[in-house]
């Protein structure tokens, strides 16, 4: 069985200053690949995450928009990548409730621009280079909608997106599919569950709760806290993407999950317990006492669960982290990297509650 290091040598990564994209860039460069990293640096993009690559010639950072055809065409012609991996997106569900237009602009119109640029470039390639080129699109399990108590999403589950975010991701997935079926572009799509791990922007559940629990602030939990998500460690996710890029079958989609379904309230309690072990609150109370149930997010999907057996069977991938090992390591990472968090928070985001 071949390894993810067999993935293409030069890769154009979009959104590589965001949470998952940056983790992917760090893995890929460490593995000897060259990455051209195109990122618009929205509020979610942060070059601090890539500080360790500052003087590494295998990482070329370019600030720009995935929808900028002229810029992308220039990058593709100059760097001649073997693959494009599209992480760039507006990614926060709550923000999509407050302002869906930016999600359509980047996730749908932007992805279309990127697909067109990639197709034009791919048509200029010949022989083995054309054969080997890949366009990998990173998507979400949220496109499948919500589950009841039983079952899990497979690659053949019909799309039923419920939020403006998931609707925009669903639209982009359909465009990727269409670019293969209509034009023959060699595409791959991955649909993953909730990621967590180092360098996640502190508006998402796990880093948000870590920060608030450290500060002794109220810990907001939507509704009854019993919504269930599958949690995938970002390192496992990036390894999955590398396996799909190296050995995935063209035009296929692959689900990626962590085998770690947890109720939101359990995630929050686990973080509280880990932080209490690290040091007590000034009040002496356990951090669980900070949990505050707040009005539910509109249209909040009840349960997601993902069946990643296709990826396991075909590409021999499995998650290396359990939820327990991954969350302990992640909480430890946030404790050790508070300067990173503080610099991120100096930007536009102030831990306000969005999407009400």
Ligand X SMILES: NC(=O)c1ccc[n+]([C@@H]2O[C@H](COP(=O)([O-])OP(=O)(O)OC[C@H]3O[C@@H](n4cnc5c(N)ncnc54)[C@H](O)[C@@H]3O)[C@@H](O)[C@H]2O)c1
Could you tell me which residues are beta bridge partners of residue 86?
14, 137
User: Quick check: 169 binds ligand X (CB under 6 A)?
Assistant: yes
User: Quick check: 15 binds ligand X (CB under 6 A)?
Assistant: yes
User: Quick check: 27 binds ligand X (CB under 6 A)?
Assistant: no
User: Quick check: 306 binds ligand X (CB under 6 A)?
Assistant: no
Per the annotation, the verdict on 141 as an active-site residue is: yes
Of 94, 142, 230, 261, catalytic: 142
User: Quick check: 194 binds ligand X (CB under 6 A)?
Assistant: yes
Distance CA 162, CA 140 (A): 12
Selected from 27, 37, 42, 227, the binder of ligand X by CB under 6 A is 42
Nearest CB to ligand X, comparing residues 93 and 290? 93
Q: Which stretch binds ligand X (CB under 6 A): 35-43, 303-311, 324-332, 345-353?
A: 35-43
Site for ligand X in 123-152 (CB under 6 A): 138, 140
Written as one string, the DSSP assignment of 2-53 is --GGGS-SEEEEESTTSHHHHHHHHHHHHTT-EEEEEE---TT--GGGGGGG
Q: Which stretch binds ligand X (CB under 6 A): 188-196, 215-223, 293-301, 344-352?
A: 188-196
Q: Which stretch binds ligand X (CB under 6 A): 17-25, 119-127, 144-152, 335-343?
A: 17-25
Give the per-residue contact string, 60-79, with ligand X (x = CB under 6 A; - = no): -----xx-------------
- 243, 4 in Cβ contact below 8 A? yes
Selected from 7, 17, 25, 290, the binder of ligand X by CB under 6 A is 17
Of 165, 196, 254, 334, catalytic: 165
- Three-state secondary structure call for residue 302: coil
User: Quick check: 18 binds ligand X (CB under 6 A)?
Assistant: yes
In the complex, residue closest to ligand X by CB: 18
Distance CA 234, CA 194 (A): 9
Question: For residue 99, what are its two tokens?
Answer: 């302002």
Nearest CB to ligand X, comparing residues 121 and 201? 201
- 162, 299 in Cβ contact below 8 A? yes
- 166, 143 in Cβ contact below 8 A? yes
Question: Among 200, 193, 15, 204, which residue's Cα sits nearest to residue 94?
Answer: 204
- 147, 141 in Cβ contact below 8 A? no
User: Quick check: 30 binds ligand X (CB under 6 A)?
Assistant: no
Q: Which stretch binds ligand X (CB under 6 A): 13-21, 93-101, 329-337, 348-356?
A: 13-21
Pairing of strands 187-192, 83-86: unpaired
Packed helices 205-215 and 264-278: angle between N→C axes, nearest 10 degrees: 40
Question: For residue 281, what are its two tokens?
Answer: 């609150």
Selected from 115, 192, 274, 306, the binder of ligand X by CB under 6 A is 192
Q: Which stretch binds ligand X (CB under 6 A): 19-27, 214-222, 242-250, 321-329?
A: 19-27
- Three-state secondary structure call for residue 252: coil
Instruction: Give me the helices (H) in 187-337, please.
Output: 205-215, 234-247, 264-278, 309-315, 323-336
Distance CA 196, CA 137 (A): 19
Site for ligand X in 80-119 (CB under 6 A): 87-91, 106, 110
- 261, 319 in Cβ contact below 8 A? no
Pairing of strands 134-140, 59-63: unpaired
Nearest CB to ligand X, comparing residues 287 and 340? 340
Per the annotation, the verdict on 173 as an active-site residue is: no
Of 141, 203, 236, 301, catalytic: 141
User: Quick check: 240 binds ligand X (CB under 6 A)?
Assistant: no
Per the annotation, the verdict on 346 as an active-site residue is: no
Selected from 4, 13, 34, 40, the binder of ligand X by CB under 6 A is 40
- The set of catalytic residues is 141-142, 165
- Which residues of the chain form contacts with ligand X (CB under 6 A)? 14-15, 17-21, 39-42, 44-45, 65-66, 87-91, 106, 110, 138, 140, 169, 192, 194-195, 201
């Amino acid at each position: 069985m071949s390894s993810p290091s067999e993935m293409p040598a030069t890769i154009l990564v979009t959104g590589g200053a965001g949470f998952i994209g940056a983790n992917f860039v760090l893995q890929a460069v460490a593995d000897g690949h060259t990455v051209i990293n195109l990122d618009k640096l929205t509020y979610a993009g942060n070059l601090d995450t890539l500080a360790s690559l500052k003087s590494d010639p295998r990482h070329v950072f370019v600030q720009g928009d995935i929808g900028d055809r002229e810029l992308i065409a220039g990058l593709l012609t100059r760097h001649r990548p073997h693959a494009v991996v599209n992480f760039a997106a507006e990614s926060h569900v709550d923000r999509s409730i407050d302002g869906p237009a930016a999600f359509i602009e980047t996730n749908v119109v932007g992805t279309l621009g990127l697909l067109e640029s990639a197709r034009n470039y791919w048509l200029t390639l010949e022989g083995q280079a054309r054969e080997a080129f890949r366009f990998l699109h990173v998507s979400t399990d949220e496109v499948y909608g919500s589950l009841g108590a039983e079952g899990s999403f497979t690659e053949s589950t019909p799309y039923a997106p419920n939020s403006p975010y998931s609707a925009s991701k669903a639209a982009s997935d359909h465009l990727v599919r269409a670019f293969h079926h209509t034009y023959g572009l060699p595409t791959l799509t991955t649909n993953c569950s909730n990621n967590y791990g180092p360098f996640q922007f502190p508006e998402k559940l796990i880093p948000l709760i870590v920060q608030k629990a450290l500060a002794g602030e109220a810990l907001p939990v939507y509704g009854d806290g019993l919504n269930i998500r599958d949690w995938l460690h970002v390192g496992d996710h990036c390894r999955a993407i590398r396996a799909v890029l190296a050995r995935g079958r063209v035009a296929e989609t692959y689900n990626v999950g962590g085998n770690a379904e947890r109720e939101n309230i359990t995630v929050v309690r686990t973080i509280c317990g880990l932080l209490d072990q690290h040091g007590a609150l000034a009040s002496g109370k356990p951090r669980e006492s900070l949990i505050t149930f707040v009005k539910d997010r509109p249209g909040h999907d009840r349960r997601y669960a993902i069946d990643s057996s296709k990826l396991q069977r075909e590409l021999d991938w499995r998650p290396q982290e359990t939820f327990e090992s991954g969350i302990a390591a992640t909480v430890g990472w946030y404790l050790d990297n508070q300067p990173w968090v503080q610099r991120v928070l100096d930007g536009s985001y102030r831990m306000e509650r969005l999407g009400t």
